[in-house]
Amino acid sequence: MRAVIVAAAVAFLISLFGTPLAIRVFSALKAGQPIRTIGPQTHLGKRGTPTMGGVAFILATLFAYAAGHLALTTLPERQIAQEKPTMTALVLLGLFVFCGAVGFMDDFLKVRKRNSDGLSAKGKLLGQLVIGTVFGIAALYFPSTNGQTVASEKISFIRDVSWLDVGKVGSVMVFVFVIMAMSNGVNLTDGLDGLATGASILVLGAYSLIGFWQYRHWCGDNDYVGDPGSSTALHCYQVRDPLEIAMIAAAAAAACVGFLWWNTNPARIFMGDTGALALGGLIGGLAVATRTTLLSVIIGGLFVIITMSVVIQIISFKTTGKRVFRMSPLQHHFELAGWSEVNIVVRFWIIAGICAAIGLGLFYSEHLAVMG
């Protein structure tokens, strides 16, 4: 637990005090966010606000992971720690960094061209596809000494669903889909000051709790404390490196809290696609690593709702020529309906919190049912 707290504290402090540096650097580089003229007119006043702020909380999370991992060598948890980063950490942080790199390329092109056209949609999807495939293979084909892999060959809800065995190739395909869906979901949620940041904090916080709970009830490599014949030992969690999962999720959540200090309305800096794609990639990776792939639809419910608003809008317009919403994604519909930006953000945070709480409730209730 102390290692998780160390990682979270370091991430928060680096992000809180490092983001102003990012603001000065990107402002000096004239990396201002281009604003689409077809969007809500209230956004025109945000033109020139520095973007690519996701770099700040990505770096904060990486340094925090190193600090937390170092702390494991002197804390009681050391018996389940490795001296080098685990494959779980490499997959999760790799998704975080490389999905962020795709977003950075998009942001860079927008700034360079001085318009909202960055990477093409195909270019972004191709980048996500390649990244998802590479790390999906790493998650499935590189087991630990006890045979445990980061991802499973079965589709999971709260645990692996035994009859949903899709094999390694199928599992890599599911992995890619989850990463692409979640990264684009967070990206679509971005657009209002602090909206995606606050929602991500709630989801990452939920995954930190899930990871730590799984660590406390972990089957592990014959390290589980308790009577091997007890119901507790029989129903422990078959995941790889749960403490690493909790530490990374907590660090990312805390880094986002520090970033939110500067990103809340009126935002001094935007996370950009750099931050949105990175957060989505990490959240998707956490869902797979914790064996909660289908549960992530509930935990990240706000991202799902906003993504579906775009899908519904496109389908409706292409089939009937009519729009269901005044504008999509959904947050812009409410802007055009007269809601203030702060009201939309806070109310959407409430929805995100409710979704995360329901997801955690289902996760914990399943454990109680199994133990009962």
Residues annotated within the binding site for Mg(2+) are 187, 273
Q: Rounded to an integer, what distance in angstroms lies between the CA atom of residue 46 and that of residue 186?
A: 20
Instruction: Classify strands 160-165 and 154-156 as parallel, antiparallel or unpaired.
Output: antiparallel
Question: Which of helix, strand or coil describes residue 104?
Answer: helix
156, containing H or E segment: strand 154-156
Q: Whole-angstrom Cα distance, residue 47 to residue 53?
A: 15
Contact 334, 344 (CB under 8 A): yes
The structure tokens listed for 141 are 């084909």
Cα–Cα dist 351/281, whole Å: 21
Amino acid of residue 255: A
Q: Is 124 helix (H, G, I), strand (E, B) or coil?
A: helix
188: number of Cβ within 10 Å: 22
Q: 340: which DSSP letter? A: -
Token readout for 325 is 């919403």
Spatial contact of 178 and 293, defined as CB atoms under 8 Å apart: yes
Q: Please report where in the chains the tokens 């395909």 appear, as a residue.
A: 173
Binding-site entries: 187, 273
Distance CA 214, CA 286 (A): 13
What are 48's two structure tokens? 């020139």
